[in-house]
Amino acid sequence: MRVHVGETFSETLTMTPEDAKAFSRAARDLNPLHHDEEVAANSRYKKLIVSGTQTAAHLMALPATYFSTRADVVGLDFSLRFHKPVFADETITLEWKVTEVTPTSSGKADVAKMKGRIINEAGQLAVAATGRVMVAEKL
């Protein structure tokens, strides 16, 4: 088996306003809360927030990066729920835990079901996620 139930992996990232602005523009998320300091300052958030597409991208990239160090990997599905904003100037921790592993019918790959989350600087749950990836010696 290439993946094990209980396997965990994480990464700590520091968000920056510059990265938040660039990512939201590249993703075509033109919500001014992600790139206009004046609009953000006058909002309920009081400062720039990171686009949900950016936090989703970081969460989905982590399993691909982690598992690809030892095998081929492809994402199958991901679901996210946003609980708190991620601010464009804070450090966050992304975490995943493998909760179930099922071999494919051919036995040549494992499908790993995972639970993930993003914890903000205050230690609060910002994003909750579930996901599935297929991991194999060769895809």
Each residue's pLDDT tens digit, 73-87: 999 999 999 999 999
Q: Does 34 map to a domain?
A: no
Residue 139 reports pLDDT greater than 90 = no
Q: Does 46 map to a domain?
A: no
pLDDT of residue 41: 97
DSSP the chain: --S-TT-EEEEEEE--HHHHHHHHHHTT---GGGT-HHHHHTSTTSS-B--HHHHHHHHHHHHHHHHTTTSEEEEEEEEEEE-SPPBTT-EEEEEEEEEEEEE-TTSSEEEEEEEEEEE-TTS-EEEEEEEEEEEES--
Q: Does 95 map to a domain?
A: yes
For range 109-118, the mean pLDDT: 97
User: Percent of the chain, pLDDT > 70?
Assistant: 99
pLDDT digits (tens, 9 = 90+) for 21-70: 999 999 999 999 999 999 999 999 999 999 999 999 999 999 999 999 99
pLDDT of residue 1: 60
What CATH number did the domain enclosing 61 receive?
Answer: 3.10.129.10
Q: Does 124 map to a domain?
A: yes
Q: Are 51 and 24 in contact (CB under 8 A)?
A: yes
Please state the pTM of the whole predicted model: 0.93
Q: Phi and psi for 42 in degrees, rounded to 5?
A: -95, 10
Q: Does 103 map to a domain?
A: yes
Which domain covers residue 121, as residue numbers? 8-15+52-136
Q: Does 40 map to a domain?
A: no
pLDDT of residue 56: 96
Number of domains the chain is built from? 1
State how far the Cα of 19 lies from the Cα of 37, in Å rounded to an integer: 14
Q: Does 78 map to a domain?
A: yes
Residue 109 is which amino acid?
Answer: A
Q: Does 29 map to a domain?
A: no
